[in-house]
Every structure is written in structure tokens, then in C-alpha cells.
């Protein structure tokens, strides 16, 4: 079998998505609301959100409903499939052939490159988003990132805590090494920035926004959502503050005045040195401010 075509991160809308909103596959009546929520991408979930006895019916309902979705809607949808060792995995992969125009596939509990290769063979050309939820997933992270068609790594930190026997504090500082590893490996593999896990509090938008700002500072580019009310808080969290933007504009204006070239050397802005890495940060902040949903 020939190798599946690579996914070009620069051209894939999912590479620019900031918010991924879950919808249970057996509650498709919620899909229109999810698509109207402003979420950049919507994940139709066949895994944890669907009871074992309801999985076959959910697959059939999704295949039947697919014809009623237009191309733009399909291009925002990701299907989360059950993990490779489960009895539902093969049927989930067979469903992919009935979903033309699907944007991507999220593999639950991704733990090996071989499992990703199997999904890629069932979904040629589709973006793959491995969900890292276990010690094995973390240990094999570099191989997973290098697997065919992988676009972004995704952190499933709730399952990861359970697998590792962790009892995290509210600020989840115990998970910083895992989050840093996803960012580092994503950059090394030239993937789009990784996707951070959910905020479980449904009625605290300020907490969702604060969690998002933390993941942006760490180098993540998106976050999972479990309720439509979280979407706008995530988008606010990824948008630089007014103070950050004002600083970036001053830095870039100073660089432009100095020539903004290799010979410009270090600059002084607000009493602090500005060199190439600081200029890169200023440009990134300006880019984030202008980001729009794909």
C-alpha cells in the first residue's frame, strides 16, 4: 500500500483552529447549536460520550445525517474514534468511508505510531489528531508525532491523571512537564501547536479564560471545550491583552524605524533590550490578535 498523502499544516484549517467543541455522536440534535457556537472545529464523539450499547446506533445516525450537512459544515467536523484495542475501533474506522468532506480524525488514547498508521490507512489525506491520555502515549510521543498525517497533538489530561495516579491541585501545576513535552515534541516534528485539554467547570468562564491564557503562555495553540458557553472564553484567552498589543506595537515600530534587518542589532524599548527573540514574540502577539476562525 502506498503511503497516505501528508497533511500540510500550513494549509489545513484545523491547524489554525483555537477551539474544539465536543458533541456526543448519539446526540446529533445538538450539532446545529455546536456549529453555531463560533467554535472553530466541532468534535463528534464516538468514545467516552457514548455508552457501549449506543455506539452502533450513533454510527448509523451520523452516516444518515451526513448528507444534510453542507461542505463548509463538514470541513469543521472532526470524528473522535475509539482507541485501537477496543471492540469498537474497527467499526469506527469503517464509518470514515461514509463521511466525505470530514476534516479530521481524533484517535482516543493514542499510544503508538502503528495505531496512527492504521487510522491513516482508513482515512487517506485526513488530518489526524492523536489524543495523549496515558503514560504510554507520553513515552511514545515523538513516534506518534512522526506518524503519517498527524497534524496536531492533543492533551487528554483528565485521563492522563487517572492513568498516572495523580491528584492534581486546582492550578494543575503537576501537569506542567506533560504540557511542556507536547509543545516541545510538536515543535520538533514541525506540527501545528498542540491542543490543551478541557476545563471541567461549565459555569465559570473566567476560569476557562485563565486556563486558556496559561496554555497560550506554554505554547499551545488551541483548547478542547465541553460546552458552547466555553468557546468565547477560549477565544478571549488566546487573544493578547490590550497591554500586550500596545507593547508589541511599540516594539515593532521601533524595529521598523531602525531598519528591522539583520544589521539593526539590539534595540531599546521601554527601558529594556529588544533583540531578535523579542521581535519574534511581538510579531506573534500581533498575529494572534489578527487571528480569525478558519
Tell me the pLDDT tens digit for each residue of 58-112.
999 999 999 999 999 999 999 999 999 999 999 999 999 999 999 999 999 999 9
Answer yes or no: is pLDDT of 8 > 60. Answer: no
Q: Is residue 3 part of a domain?
A: no
How many other CB atoms are there within 10 angstroms of residue 250's CB atom? Answer: 14
Are residues 128 and 255 part of one domain? no
Q: What is the CATH number of the domain that holds 144?
A: 3.20.20.60
pLDDT (0 to 100) of residue 276 = 75
Are both 64 and 127 inside the same structural domain? yes
Residues 82 and 204 in one domain: yes
Whether 5 maps to a domain, the answer reads no
Q: pTM to 2 decimals?
A: 0.86
65 falls within a domain: yes
CA distance 209 to 259: 37
- Domain residues for the domain of 285 are 242-289
Query: Is there a single domain that holds both residue 113 and residue 76?
Result: yes
Q: Do 87 and 180 share a structural domain?
A: yes
Q: Is residue 189 in some structural domain? A: yes
Q: Are both 163 and 281 inside the same structural domain?
A: no
- Element holding 252 (H helix, E strand): helix 242-258
Integer angstrom CA distances of residue 243 from 129, 250, 285, 286: 34, 11, 11, 12
Provide the domain count of the chain.
2
**Beta-carbon neighbour count of residue 146 at 10 Å?**
15
pLDDT band at residue 260 using 50, 70 and 90 as cut-offs = low
Flag whether pLDDT at 44 surpasses 50: yes
Does residue 253 share a domain with residue 127?
no
Instruction: Give helix then strand counts, H and E, for the chain.
Output: 14, 10
The pLDDT mean for the chain works out to 89
Q: Are 262 and 227 in the same domain?
A: no
How would residue 17 be classed by pLDDT, with cut points 50, 70 and 90? very high
Amino acid at each position: 500500500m502506498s503511503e497516505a498523502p501528508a497533511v500540510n499544516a500550513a494549509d489545513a484549517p484545523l491547524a489554525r483552529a483555537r477551539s474544539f467543541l465536543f458533541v456526543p455522536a448519539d446526540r446529533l440534535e445538538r450539532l446545529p447549536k455546536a456549529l453555531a457556537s463560533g467554535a472553530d472545529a466541532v468534535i463528534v464523539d464516538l468514545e467516552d460520550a457514548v455508552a457501549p450499547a449506543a455506539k452502533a446506533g450513533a454510527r448509523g445516525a451520523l452516516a444518515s445525517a451526513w448528507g444534510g450537512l453542507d461542505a463548509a459544515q463538514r470541513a469543521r467536523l472532526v470524528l473522535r474514534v475509539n482507541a485501537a484495542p477496543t471492540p469498537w475501533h474497527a467499526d469506527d474506522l469503517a464509518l470514515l468511508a461514509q463521511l466525505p468532506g470530514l476534516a479530521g480524525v481524533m484517535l482516543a488514547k493514542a499510544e503508538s505510531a502503528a495505531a496512527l498508521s492504521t487510522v491513516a490507512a482508513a482515512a487517506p489525506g485526513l488530518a489526524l489528531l492523536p489524543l495523549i491520555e496515558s503514560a504510554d502515549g507520553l513515552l511514545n510521543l515523538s513516534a506518534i508525532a512522526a506518524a503519517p498525517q498527524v497534524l496536531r497533538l492533543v492533551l487528554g489530561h483528565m485521563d492522563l491523571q487517572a492513568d498516572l495516579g495523580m491528584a492534581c491541585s486546582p492550578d494543575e501545576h503537576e501537569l506542567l512537564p506533560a504540557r511542556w513535552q507536547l509543545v516541545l515534541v510538536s515543535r520538533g516534528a514541525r506540527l501545528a501547536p498542540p491542543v490543551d485539554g478541557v476545563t471541567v467547570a461549565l459555569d465559570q468562564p473566567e476560569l476557562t479564560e485563565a486556563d486558556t491564557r496559561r496554555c497560550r503562555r506554554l505554547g499551545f495553540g488551541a483548547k478542547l471545550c465541553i460546552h458552547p458557553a466555553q468557546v468565547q472564553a477560549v477565544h478571549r484567552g488566546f487573544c493578547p491583552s490590550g497591554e500586550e498589543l500596545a507593547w508589541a506595537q511599540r516594539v515593532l515600530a521601533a524595529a521598523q524605524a531602525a531598519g528591522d534587518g539583520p544589521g539593526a542589532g539590539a534595540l531599546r524599548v521601554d527601558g529594556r533590550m529588544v533583540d531578535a527573540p523579542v521581535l519574534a514574540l511581538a510579531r506573534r502577539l500581533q498575529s494572534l490578535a489578527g487571528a480569525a476562525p478558519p
